Amino acid sequence: MTTQTAADKTVAAPAPGTPSGLIGIPANLARALATGGSVLAVVSTFLAWTWTADFPGDLTFYGYPGGLQVLVLVGGALATLFCLASYGVRGLGWLTPAGADAAVKYAVLGTFATAWYTVVSISVELGGVVNLEPGGFLVAAATLIALIGALALPFERPEPDPIDPEASGWEQFRHDAAHAVAVLRAAFTSGSPRPVRTLPSYVEILVIVAVLAVALIVFTYGIGTEYDELFVGFLITAGFGFGALNRSGLVAHASQISARHQNITVCGAFVAAALFPFTQTDDQYATLGVYILIFATVALGLNIVVGLAGLLDLGYVAFLGVGAYAAALVSGSPSSPFGVHFPFWAAVLVGALASLVFGVLIGAPTLRLRGDYLAIVTLGFGEIFRIAVNNTDGTSGPDITNGSNGIASIPDLNILGFDLGVAHDIGGFTIGRFANYFFLMLLITAVVVLVFRRSGDSRIGRAWVAIREDETAALAMGINGFRVKLIAFAVGATLAGLAGTVQAHVTYTVTPEQYLFAGTTPPNSAFLLAAVVLGGMGTIAGPLIGAALLFLIPNKLQFLGDYQLLAFGLALVLLMRFRPEGLIPNRRRQLEFHEEADAPTVLSKTGA
């Protein structure tokens, strides 16, 4: 009689490279659980989740979703559609050109996270789970069932790297952790993409219009969230929803369509942005819109310096300050020692030219440096600018900028008799002060986008990219590296100064504290650089989207108090860990990062 050892009782792990799920459930049952749980999650949004209206959003109604229920409804509906597409339902194949299973996992996980965040918030704020109604219990159970089913969907397990027998315990731990991360990445990654049928041109244009309409709706909803819990739920739903659409292949397909109709896409994006003020009833959220545009325009100018030319500038916000101060000094403000009041076009020229001059003066002696040395010099310039305007108060230095008090009482702009500080009625809609400045900044953003596109596609733009990729090789090919970098520095500074002229009139006051290297709120140099990297270096849409997120999210997360930057920083770390190329990546950078991610990691030592 043989004795059965513990090793004999151990269940064999799935062989590397074979399809399996994170949970040992048959694929058909897993798909049924994910589908059924998603459908029940949708049904639960039409039931009451709590008995009292004390929780924000009033989740006490039957038959009428509200507040966070709407987000769960959207996530559950999206997960249900992807589940049906995974079954091969006729007419839904276009939803998953890159496969459905990974999209199902992201959509289900987002619905689960939003639902459980709501249920936990209700229990904590109202004093226990006793405050949940049947709908609350149903959505918790349904999303949990859907998550179990989604995690059990099959995926291709990567083969582990060989283990070095001489490796230390720490090296073996790193090996196991790397393989676990690879397994999780594979579990949430689609399989081989299916070929996508080319659509007629008019259909592709309709697709672009639909995408822009959805983007406008999502942005308007996000910026108009009325309470903190709703915004956090919006972030969860939007983040996982974007991941699901990306893994399904729809984002890549839409990107290909927009690339084939680039001019239509750009014009349509500006039309959609111009419609934003008409969706608002007052200036409360139009205020955020104009500040987002200012921040995004400056980030796009920095993208020329960092994204195209590869110059790490840590003091870029100083050029925004130069433009703002130059325009404020000639704006007719009583705080200005010059006592002049230039028209708008002249103030814009003064601000842009002042930033251009400072860009050339700073760049000429410093751009022969590279890498970290250039970054330190530009960081020093940013601090020198702030200290200089702080000391030119008539006591520590000449009386120019009024020191720490800044230039105050800057009058509103008046362009061809149109006073931007007064509300106007347009087509039955009342457009307030910040909406007026929103349209002005939108026009300036269009100019900056045009400059970026034309310069990026020009000979000088290709020279910038060559310098960024390998400056030594570019110099060997005959490119004048110093001149090319100086042009990039000057153009970026000019665009920042252009935005600064409008910022001075929007904020009424220009002070040195607005132009720090780092702070709790943008714009500052650290946030500007993060917007370029987060959005995608070398692209147009990337910094615009990155700047919008980096301005909107801290503004909405103020309820976290001292933990605001901690939560925000953790979110950035996770995003850069799983999508280092940025949200809207340049094709070259996307291939580089994915090439690194897909390359096998060898942890074994090479013997002599």
Based on the fold, state whether residues 79 and 188 are members of the same structural domain: yes
Is 267 inside any structural domain? no
Is 4 inside any structural domain? no
Based on the fold, state whether residues 540 and 483 are members of the same structural domain: yes
Position 40 scores a pLDDT of 95
State the CATH number of the domain containing residue 280.
1.10.3470
Domain count, the chain: 2
Position 138 scores a pLDDT of 95
Based on the fold, state whether residues 175 and 219 are members of the same structural domain: yes
Provide the pairing of β-strand 414-415 with 418-419.
antiparallel
Based on the fold, state whether residues 448 and 364 are members of the same structural domain: yes
Is 5 inside any structural domain? no
Q: Which of 198, 215, 250 is the last residue of a domain?
A: 250
Is 379 inside any structural domain? yes
Is 25 inside any structural domain? yes
Is 71 inside any structural domain? yes
**Rounded CA gap, 130 and 150, in Å?**
29
**Rounded CA gap, 293 and 403, in Å?**
28
> What stretches in the chain show pLDDT beneath 70?
1-23, 155-198, 519-522, 561, 586-608
**Rounded CA gap, 565 and 521, in Å?**
10
Structural domain of residue 465, as residue ranges? Answer: 275-595
Q: In terms of pTM, does the model score above 0.85?
A: no
State the residue for tokens 């520095």: 489
Based on the fold, state whether residues 139 and 285 are members of the same structural domain: no
Burial class (CB in 10 A: 0-12, 13-18, 19+), 504: buried
Based on the fold, state whether residues 64 and 106 are members of the same structural domain: yes
Provide DSSP, 494-506.
HHHHHHHHHHHHH
Based on the fold, state whether residues 244 and 305 are members of the same structural domain: no
Position 4 scores a pLDDT of 45
Structure tokens at 19: 């399809």
Q: Are 59 and 67 in contact (CB under 8 A)?
A: yes
Based on the fold, state whether residues 39 and 84 are members of the same structural domain: yes
Position 155 scores a pLDDT of 62
**Rounded CA gap, 133 and 122, in Å?**
11
Q: CB under 8 Å to 98, separation ≥6 — which residues?
A: 190, 191, 193, 194, 247, 248, 249, 252
Position 140 scores a pLDDT of 94
Position 46 scores a pLDDT of 94
Is 605 inside any structural domain? no
Q: Which of 250, 265, 299 is the last residue of a domain?
A: 250
Based on the fold, state whether residues 44 and 120 are members of the same structural domain: yes
Q: Are 312 and 378 in contact (CB under 8 A)?
A: yes
Ramachandran region, residue 509 (left: φ > 0; alpha: ψ -120 to 50; beta: rest):
beta
Q: CB under 8 Å to 154, separation ≥6 — which residues?
A: 19, 20, 21, 27, 101
Based on the fold, state whether residues 227 and 371 are members of the same structural domain: no
Is 603 inside any structural domain? no
Q: Which of 207, 233, 250 is the last residue of a domain?
A: 250
Position 520 scores a pLDDT of 62
Based on the fold, state whether residues 332 and 379 are members of the same structural domain: yes
SS (H, E, C) 456-513: HCCHHHHHHHHHHHCHHHHHHCCCCHHHHHHHHHHHHHHHHHHHHHHHHHHHCCECHH
DSSP state of 130: G
Burial class (CB in 10 A: 0-12, 13-18, 19+), 315: buried
pLDDT digit string (tens) for 352-371?
Answer: 999 999 888 888 888 777 77
Q: Are 275 and 435 in contact (CB under 8 A)?
A: no
**Rounded CA gap, 409 and 188, in Å?**
54
Based on the fold, state whether residues 135 and 42 are members of the same structural domain: yes
